[in-house]
Amino acid sequence: MSANITVSDLSVSFRSARGYVPVVHGISFSIRPGETLALVGESGSGKSVTSMAIMKLLAPAPMTRIEGRAVVTDNQGNPVDLVALDEKQLRHIRGNRIAMIFQEPLTSLNPVHTVGDQIAEAIRFHERLSKAEARRRALSLLEQVGIPEPAKRLDTYPHELSGGMRQRVMIAIALAMEPDILIADEPTTALDVTVQAQILGLLRDLQRKKGMAILFITHNFGVVAEIADRVMVMYAGRIVEEGSVLHVLSSPRMPYTRGLLASVPRLEHAGLGQAELGTIPGYVPDPAAPPAGCAFHPRCAHNKPGICDVEPPELVEVRAGHQLRCSRWQELCLEGGVR
């Protein structure tokens, strides 16, 4: 089955007084129709920068330098590289073939325009429809994303809606042109668990109906387990582990992935005092002054001088479809009894 999007060796650097600072290093992945790939990592690991680079929504050159390829198909079914397109060309791809749900809908939606006008604007840009026809489509989209009293909500402003409702509006805008690829940048952040479950269920239902490929960006492994088929763990601008959700969550090989999973509260331990919640000491390194060797080694409990602080490890395949970036992974698996 062909991929809806193929990203190859994507790198991003930001211009500073000391020259260009690399923040994303050679990211490669593909997502097939109907598949969800989760991108996981701490704040500052480069998740959102990766998604914004794919959409070409970062500051233009020379403030930002984007290298690599992000290939999708255009309206005629021809492969096009988003990185190589200019802004005029991108306008016909964004929203139409690839769309994005942004992390904070209150700041992404225009406060001076009604919800209906903002949905209709996206529709009228790509299709020659009258205002009345676009409004009918907007009403249908609000019904599709499960907003109660959709006819009434068409004429409301973003600040009049709850967080969950605004997120549904963002999904409606993103799905207005039935894109092949959807990038969801932490769409459930700051939502209560009930609304979060509704949003995830909505995305799954829409994906089944339309066969979308979804790149789901989050730091929540509970969400990953519920919605994703594959997962990529990102640290300091690099992919450090990638594989199926089953492999990565049940037998993580990279110490950083293990640390993230150890920090997830477990229901079976709630109130029993049986297990201390895990933590990862320190912080994500400054991209302008990265440590030598493995970027994670200053925070890693398994750091070995002379090995981990010499050369950045390569991404290696440890079994079919499961890759990781760690110089000591074989030793650590033997010590932990992992096969």
Among 303, 223, 296, 324, CA closest to 264: 223
Is 80 exceeded by the pLDDT of residue 268?
no
pLDDT-derived band at 195 (thresholds 50, 70, 90) equals: confident
Q: What is the DSSP letter of 185?
A: E
Q: Which domains does the chain have, with CATH numbers?
A: 5-228 (3.40.50.300), 238-336 (no CATH)
Dist. CA 22–CA 91, nearest whole Å: 27
Report the greatest alpha carbon distance in the chain.
68
Helix (H) or strand (E) holding 164: helix 163-174
Dist. CA 219–CA 264, nearest whole Å: 10
Q: What pLDDT sits at residue 326?
A: 94
pLDDT-derived band at 203 (thresholds 50, 70, 90) equals: confident
Beta bridge partners of 233: 40, 241
pLDDT-derived band at 15 (thresholds 50, 70, 90) equals: very high
Dist. CA 15–CA 331, nearest whole Å: 39
The structure's pTM equals: 0.90
pLDDT-derived band at 102 (thresholds 50, 70, 90) equals: confident
Q: For 121-174, write each residue's pLDDT tens digit.
A: 888 888 888 999 999 999 999 998 888 899 999 999 999 998 888 988 998 898
pLDDT-derived band at 1 (thresholds 50, 70, 90) equals: very low
Residue 317: other Cβ atoms inside 10 A: 11
* DSSP reduced 3-state for 27: strand
Q: For 37-78, write each residue's pLDDT tens digit.
A: 999 999 889 999 999 999 999 998 899 999 999 999 877 778
Task: Assign residue 178 a region (left: φ > 0; alpha: ψ between -120 and 50; beta: otherwise).
Answer: left
Q: Choose the weakest-confidence range: 6-10, 43-47, 188-192.
A: 188-192
Dist. CA 332–CA 337, nearest whole Å: 8
Among 176, 177, 232, 182, CA closest to 204: 182
What is the token pair recorded at 258? 């293990």
Percent of the chain clearing pLDDT 90 (strictly above): 55
**Residues 50 and 8: beta-carbon distance below 8 Å:** no
Q: What pLDDT sits at residue 331?
A: 85
**Residues 323 and 315: beta-carbon distance below 8 Å:** yes
Taking all residues of the chain, what is their mean pLDDT, rounded to a whole number?
Answer: 88
Is 60 exceeded by the pLDDT of residue 273?
no
Q: What is the DSSP letter of 330?
A: H
Distances in Å between the Cα of 179 and the Cα atoms of 102, 134, 169, 280, 337 are: 15, 17, 16, 38, 44
Is 50 exceeded by the pLDDT of residue 209?
yes
Dist. CA 312–CA 46, nearest whole Å: 17
Q: For 315-337, write each residue's pLDDT tens digit.
A: 999 888 899 999 998 888 766 65
DSSP secondary structure, 220-264, as one string: -HHHHHHH-SEEEEEETTEEEEEEEHHHHHHS--SHHHHHHHHTS
Q: What pLDDT sits at residue 270?
A: 53
Using CA atoms in the order 63, 68, 70, 75, what is the torsion angle rounded to 10 degrees?
Answer: 80
Q: What is the DSSP letter of 269?
A: G
Q: What pLDDT sits at residue 271?
A: 54
Q: For 18-28, write each residue's pLDDT tens digit.
A: 899 999 999 99
Three state DSSP letters for 70-132? EEEECCCCCEEEHHHCCHHHHCCCECCCEEEECCCHHHHCCCCCCHHHHHHHHHHHHCCCCHH
What is the token pair recorded at 263? 């920090």
